[in-house]
Amino acid sequence: MSETDADTERLTRALRAQGIRITRQRAALLEIMARADDHPDAVELHRRASDELPGISLSTVYRTLAALEEHGVIQRHQFQGETARFEPADAEHHDHMIDVESGEVIEFHSERIEELQAALAREMGYEIVHHRLELYVRKRRDA
């Protein structure tokens, strides 16, 4: 059994325990999300799901994505001007660089930046609930 298969099965059990039914549609989407190493949007996920489950409706995809997000299984991102994209919610938080020329999304993480953010918020009397950091970038020509 592949690692993502094992992950998916564990997830399935956890979700069922939380009282959410794993239908064929949801199983398909869970599997697709587990495999996805890009950041697909609802329409793209619907396309992928249709391959193994012809007839699955776009509304089901939206409803499932909402449910999975609510249960912390996936994360929704709304990049500048784009439609919502999704990715599996891994343990470690990360931010995104978006290549404005290719649309490619690169993940990164900076503990130093996170610390500065937290310190800044605290100074101003707030605590961070969550944050969003997006760098819209272009490949360096002079590199």
Partner DNA sequence: CTGGGTGCAAACACTTTGCATCTAT
Partner DNA sequence: ATAGATGCAAAGTGTTTGCACCCAG
List residues near a second copy by CB under 8 A.
78, 80-81, 97, 99-100, 106, 108, 110, 112-113, 116-117, 120-122, 124-140, 143
> In this chain, which of 11, 30, 60, 68 binds DNA, going by CB under 7 A?
60
As given in the structure block, the two tokens for residue 66 are: 């909402």
Closest alpha carbon to 26 in 66, 64, 58: 64
Contact 86, 39 (CB under 8 A): yes
Rounded to a whole number of angstroms, the minimum distance from the CB of residue 83 to DNA is 4
Q: Where are the beta strands (DSSP E) in 40-121?
A: 74-77, 85-88, 95-99, 105-108
Contact 121, 127 (CB under 8 A): yes
Contact 98, 134 (CB under 8 A): yes
Q: Is 79 in the site for DNA (CB under 7 A)?
A: no
For a second copy, the closer CB: 14 or 113:
113
Q: Is 8 in the site for DNA (CB under 7 A)?
A: no
Q: Where does this chain bind DNA (CB under 7 A)?
A: 16, 19-26, 41-43, 53, 55-60, 62-64, 66-67, 83-84
